[in-house]
C-alpha cells in the first residue's frame, strides 16, 4: 500500500523533472505533455504526474488547451519585458504604500527574511532562497494591504520567476539579489520614498536581463524558442 509520504515524494520527483525540463528549455513552448508518457519515463503512475502538472499550471509554466490537455506555456522576450514592466510599476506602488504602514515587527520580519536569503545564497540552496524570497514579497504585499494589486503581482512574478531563479543560480546572482532585497528593506524602514522606485527598477531589471540571457542561450542551441 502506497503511503502519503511515498505519494508525495513521487509528485515531487515528477514536479522537479518537469520544472527542470521546462526552465532548461528542453520542453519547449507549446509542447504537449502526455501524462502516460511522462509516467512511463519516470516509472510512476499517472496520478503523481497529474498532480505535478496541476502544480505547474498554478505557477504559470503549463497551460491547458481547449480540450483540457496540458502544454508548456509560452515564454517569449515580449512576455518577459511586459511582465517586468508591470512588476516595476506595481512593486513600486506596493513598496511605497508598505513604507507608510511599516511597524518595527514588520521591519524585523523583512530583515530576517533577507538574512535567510543571504544564507541560502551562500550555500547555493535555491529552494531555501526561493522560500525566503516568497515570504519577503508576501509580507510586503500584506503590509501594503491592496489585495487586487497583490494578486496581480503574485501571478505576474510566478509566471517568470522560475526561469529567473534558474538563470540566477547559474550566474551566481542569488547573493547580489539578496543584497537588493536588503536595499529595498532599508528604504522601507527609512521611509525613503525617493529610493524605492530606483531600487525596484534595478532589482526587476536584473531579473529581466537574466531571463532574456537564458532565452538567448536556448535559441543559440535550439533555434528560436
- SS3 annotation, the chain: CCCHHHHHHHHHHHHHHHHHHHHCCCCCCCCECCHHHHHHHHCCCHHHHHHHHHHHHHCCCEEECCCCCEEECCCCHHHHHHHHHHHHHHHHHHHHHHHCCCCHHHHHHHHHHHHHHHHHHHHCCHHHHHHHHHHHHHHHHHHHCCHHHHHHHHHHHHHHHHHHHHHHHHCCCHHHHHHHHHHHHHHHHCCCHHHHHHHHHHHHHHHHHHHHHHHHHHHHHHCCC
Per-residue confidence in pLDDT tens, the chain, 225 aa: 445 456 668 999 999 899 888 877 788 888 999 999 999 999 999 999 999 999 999 888 899 988 888 999 878 889 899 999 999 999 999 999 999 999 999 999 999 999 999 999 999 888 899 899 989 999 999 999 999 999 999 888 877 877 777 777 656 788 999 999 999 999 999 999 999 999 999 999 998 998 898 888 776 665 655
Amino acid at each position: 500500500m502506497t503511503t502519503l509520504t511515498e505519494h508525495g515524494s513521487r509528485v515531487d520527483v515528477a514536479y522537479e523533472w518537469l520544472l527542470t525540463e521546462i526552465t532548461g528549455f528542453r520542453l519547449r513552448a507549446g509542447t504537449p505533455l502526455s501524462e502516460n508518457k511522462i509516467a512511463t519515463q519516470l516509472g510512476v503512475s499517472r496520478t503523481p504526474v497529474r498532480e505535478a502538472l496541476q502544480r505547474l499550471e498554478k505557477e504559470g509554466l503549463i497551460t491547458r488547451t481547449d480540450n483540457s490537455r496540458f502544454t508548456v506555456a509560452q515564454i517569449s522576450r515580449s512576455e518577459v519585458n511586459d511582465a517586468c514592466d508591470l512588476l516595476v510599476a506595481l512593486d513600486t506602488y506596493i513598496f511605497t504604500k508598505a513604507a507608510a504602514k511599516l511597524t518595527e515587527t514588520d521591519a524585523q520580519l523583512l530583515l530576517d527574511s533577507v538574512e535567510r536569503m543571504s544564507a541560502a545564497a551562500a550555500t547555493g540552496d535555491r529552494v531555501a532562497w526561493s522560500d525566503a524570497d516568497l515570504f519577503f514579497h508576501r509580507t510586503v504585499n500584506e503590509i501594503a494591504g491592496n489585495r487586487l494589486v497583490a494578486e496581480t503581482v503574485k501571478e505576474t512574478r510566478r509566471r517568470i520567476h522560475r526561469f529567473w531563479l534558474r538563470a540566477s543560480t547559474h550566474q551566481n546572482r542569488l547573493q547580489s539579489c539578496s543584497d537588493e532585497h536588503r536595499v529595498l528593506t532599508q528604504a522601507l524602514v527609512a521611509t525613503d520614498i525617493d529610493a524605492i522606485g530606483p531600487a525596484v527598477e534595478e532589482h526587476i531589471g536584473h531579473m529581466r536581463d537574466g531571463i532574456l540571457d537564458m532565452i538567448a542561450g536556448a535559441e543559440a542551441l535550439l533555434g528560436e524558442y
